[in-house]
Chains A and B, each alone.
Chain A
């Protein structure tokens, strides 16, 4: 027999007759009632009061408490959903600041509107008397509150009621927000009762969507839990009517997230009347904590390459793979850095199938934001894939090293390079990428604002676009940022409307006592830098050979990762791994990533790349830079390469060139932990610099090193290009007999002579007559003229064994601005690939012999007339002197015979000179500068016009005595022609010149009239250029010789 009560629950009624029970059926009895599973919320208004919902909410919390205590007592879907929804209201208000700052970007807002009972029941009585009759009666017994508060969420201009305050559970949601589980297309879906809410998508800060999914208290965010547990429902003062929800919250006392001493910064939630939101004595609060989630950006930029881990703080992927070929910019706003010391932002990524979870760890908590590829759900982020957007982008920071002395971090240049890869649609513009820089001062993050140097103590100058990609076929656009008098800790990248952070990993110099001396030989054709470590007294360590300028580490932090490949140099790996359309741009408009001694090394061609637009003041990188790429590739169509800057008298361009060299040196010093402001600098100038040019150089070298290296002028020394090599050669023991020694330094633009006697310089001389005259077009003023015979001889026939050089050569020939000397120098630089040395030696040896003979004849005449004996040792330096052993003869005896013959002709008697043609002919100037004792006797500069009978110091002096000088020179030219004939004959006899070669035409040419060209070119090159009072440091001797050589090339 199984007796059973005829009731909802079997309480064990003793009789089958009507029997009195002790108590009514109460909520406590209902625990035993197993509800059927219900997927809709039709049960939630089942009380005989218009305020049914308020009580059902209470019951929901009571049942949720039971379920929490005993999992077997299921609360049921509808109650769980109701509890979850009400907790959502609390959480939404708790995170109100977060949502206002982070989630609601399109005008969404949440208002808390006050409803006064007295005022509104009166209104309802008037407008809806039937409702009033019912509501007024029940309101007094069920609600009692003088005010209710309605939470109104507005999106897309549409207001949605989210909740009403309740004196029983704090809040109730409207019945239209109840959910039902419906089956559609074979799947279960959640559907709101009221269609108004179908479009409601409010992402919780802690994940998921408010009011959609069920999230019980235990599954919520730790801050929220502790707010509810320790703050809102902790007090005994909480009204008895809140019993059900309070007991629910307090039932989580064993929850691991609940901590007694949990600290929260809370603020009042304000209503539309600016009152604090207080519901039945319960003061509802909002988190006033730092809103970590607000630091996340809405979008996350994905780049189609890995970001360099060496150069930037990169993302830690929890599930990384070797195959990953992309990376993300840090999806944070700049203020996020205020949370962390240094650059140690603690962020992890977890890659999912359709999304990426970004996990920011701060103060032991994790803040997660999900970024998806497609749907942009409120609270979720969106991945902006640059590859899909057909946008290529990279950047590089120079220098990538910081001095330990903050004030020395006064210059940083950032190249931004971007390209539109989409053959269709509008061209993406480099203007649509921008950077914002920030630095840390203590815990404060300081934005580095755009300022001009004269306006502010520090700042970033307005970005300058150097190149634009005008069509899809073209290469990338470039843009430069320059920070002055400040370093920076990180920067924000903005591409179109999306942003992300990049945090550079800076190299940092250590404080040591290491100091260095650098010597810079800025030659007409080539520039060389050498470095020497100093002794403790700051003087160069003369016991060690100066070092080749070579860096061990890059000086530019490019964004892209550098691949591992032992077969390729670091430079090639850096340059080769950037996106295709940027490859040429970073070479032609920026600084090499590293001077590695192989791909980039000194000497370099003295060439400056600059934009066509000359109206813009030359500024390093913004529009000009050293053409490290020169003779390797072409600049783009908007740029020129200038190769005459040494003599061009354009101070601004020259300054740009020097600045870049000095910045490289600065970087080198810091990489070597050198003490920057104790650096010594040596620079060189030819004697033949005319007054203004000399002043320009002096100004540049007095100011730029101070600006960049912070060194006083007394640590900067200038030496004569002429004498410097001697000290190196002497140190190297190249000079066997120091009794009478001359150094002949043949450069591209000038030739310098210094005479030493017993190791003491006796005199020095410099003429603007270098080897370039062999490749130029005489005194033709038109830069684009191409009449040099050597050029014309090979321009159409010279072939290269490398395709790139062949292409480059072809391009050079068709570039109007390219000069013949530049093209021929290109051939010579790449002689291994075009046999130009053999051709020149075969075809133009008499021309080179004439060039050399004229130098030697001039020098011998000068020494003799200055009372010096013939040198017994002659050492050649300068890259220009290489034509001697390349094109005349590599046999020292042949050169010795020429010199002996010249000396015999000038000094008389027999001579037996020692000849030295060292390998390091360009380097010798720099090296010599380092070895030269700063206290050594200063060499006496002598100007020699070919005649000592008069004083020709000033241009006016020459003008006054030009006839005398001309007659003397014509006699000397006659001697020179005769000497030239003898040299040719001698070399024929020695088979240095092919015996079959008809040299008569060269002799005839040499013998031709020199008077007319002397007069002509004196007038155009001296008399008309300079005022009478100008000291003329050059020599008019070579004016017709230059013309003669030009003519000889055309024989």
Chain B
């Protein structure tokens, strides 16, 4: 099993990982790599982080249920949920999560034991040069509030002493890959990426780690926050570009990833509520783009020199469709369109009385009430919300028309699919079922996902043309 360790640093890392998960569910290929997500964020009470763990659980549940049968494990499917996700905890067979590694609600001043320095010791001035009073008085539980200089110290300690990092080093084997997701304009991500990279590259005793092919996506500013003076927040998005420029200048000579992907916006179109404790910002197109970097990375071989990658959109419209996105996004659009079609059938099929496969393949009422299908339903519900957020955010990723199942030619905007309504897809599912002669398992859930994908792909492969 070849693995890709995906380090998700900070809030942006979490949100990008969510998009990765959605794309994996949609059928995006990891090129056979098992994804091992590692979340680094000191926000103990961050809802998004908890939700992501839940999402991983659902995904894994679905994946497992689709790959079990015949008394053992089956190969992964070609379509939906075709790649495995395994957490670092599971890999290490341990419960200790990255969440518990940081100093809880402790203030930074206390965390570094500043009180151990005598009042008139010159090292007080050394500390004052490095950190503001506000830095020193900030509790770690709410992150580094856009202060990478603080984050460097905290994350450095958090990584160095953490069981998960040891586990990572232990389980990272030759051929495995490393991918780091971070934002550059905040605190946690901006500090965590070069720090983590430094730690990995300095792992002299673990050559597999030290020499692993490494990719990273640096998420550049893509959203703004409301005026901090109205919320009392310490984060002022007016600084994002200023910070990014300073950080990029520093990165120029310090980061050494084999592939460095940049994703961001040249201007901040979306403005969120400024509440760092919640950070429940809606899914954003740039996160999706950043997520796509992982899949691109997993397709590439080790370069001779460090590579820097960016991508464009064809037309800088606020609501993007396939045309304005550009040809490069066809695979993403297809995946999302596929899953959204799956979502439609997950919702409609349980109510379809005369669907032949209910008898032939047992896609009956019991099937629809089975835990596997219910897990899929739950996941799909999250997926739908995710797409809903993407398609209504600024800028919007909205290449689909999903309102009606009776007029489905225009399911993907700007092109016309041959399936005029849902019956075309259901027919193709039946045909897929009929063509399938597998006898080695009787995993209805796997058949359901397999036939649905074959049916959908039949019509949507047109997108890739």
Contacts and interface: CB of A to CB of B under 8 A. Distances in A.
Given A16-B312, A48-B195, A134-B153, A8 B246 contact: no
Given A47-B250, A161-B128, A78 B149 contact: no
A16 B266 CA distance: 16
A260 interface: no
Contact of B129 (A79, A133, A164): A164
Interface stretch (A170-178, A510-518, A806-814): A170-178
Interface in B384-411: none
20 contacts: A3-B315, A5-B310, A6-B265, A6-B289, A14-B312, A21-B310, A34-B241, A36-B237, A38-B242, A42-B234, A46-B185, A51-B149, A52-B246, A62-B249, A78-B239, A113-B122, A128-B113, A131-B112, A131-B153, A176-B132
Given A27-B245, A79-B242, 9 more contacts: A1-B314, A16-B313, A19-B309, A20-B309, A25-B248, A42-B234, A52-B246, A133-B160, A150-B126
B79 interface: no
Contacts of B116: 127-128
A3 B241 contact: no
Given A5-B312, A59-B245, A161-B125, A48 B266 contact: no
A4 B266 contact: yes
B221 A35 contact: no
Contacts of B326: 3, 15-16
A148 interface: yes
A30 B262 contact: no
B30 interface: no
A3 B153 contact: no
A30 B131 CA distance: 26
Interface in B259-288: 260-266, 268, 286
Interface string B218-254: 0011000000010000111111111111111111100
B310 A27 contact: no
Interface residues of B, number: 90
A900 B232 CA distance: 122
A441 to B, nearest CB: 49
Interface stretch (B38-46, B186-194, B456-464): B186-194
B312 A18 contact: no
B157 A46 contact: no
Contacts of A124: 123, 126
Given A5-B310, A6-B313, A48 B248 contact: no
B111 A24 contact: no
Q: Which 3 A-B pairs have the closest CB atoms?
A: A16-B326, A16-B328, A17-B328
Interface residues of A, number: 85
Contacts of A55: 246, 249-250
B132 A194 contact: yes
A19 B325 CA distance: 15
B152 interface: yes
Nearest to B188: A48
Given A120-B126, A128-B113, A37 B149 contact: no
B192 A5 contact: no
A575 to B, nearest CB: 65
Interface string B189-215: 011111100100000000000000000
B308 interface: yes
A4 B261 contact: no
A174 B237 CA distance: 22
A120 B312 CA distance: 50
B250 A148 contact: no
B400 to A, nearest CB: 18
A38 B224 CA distance: 13
Interface of B: 111-114, 116-117, 121-123, 125-135, 146-153, 156-157, 160, 185, 190-195, 198, 220-221, 229, 234-252, 260-266, 268, 286, 289, 292-293, 296, 306-316, 325-329
B242 A46 contact: yes
Contacts of B315: 1-3
A8 B311 contact: no
B328 A7 contact: no
Contacts of B328: 15-18
A89 B234 CA distance: 28
Contact of A130 (B112, B250, B311): B112
A40 interface: yes
A821 interface: no
Interface string A158-194: 0001001000000010111010000100000000011
A138 B199 CA distance: 12
Contacts of B235: 42
A26 interface: yes
A8 B244 contact: yes
Contact of A35 (B157, B241, B266): B241
Contact of A76 (B117, B242, B261): B242
Interface centre among B146, B153, B195, B246 (most CB of A within 10 A): B246
Contact of B146 (A14, A30, A46, A53): A46
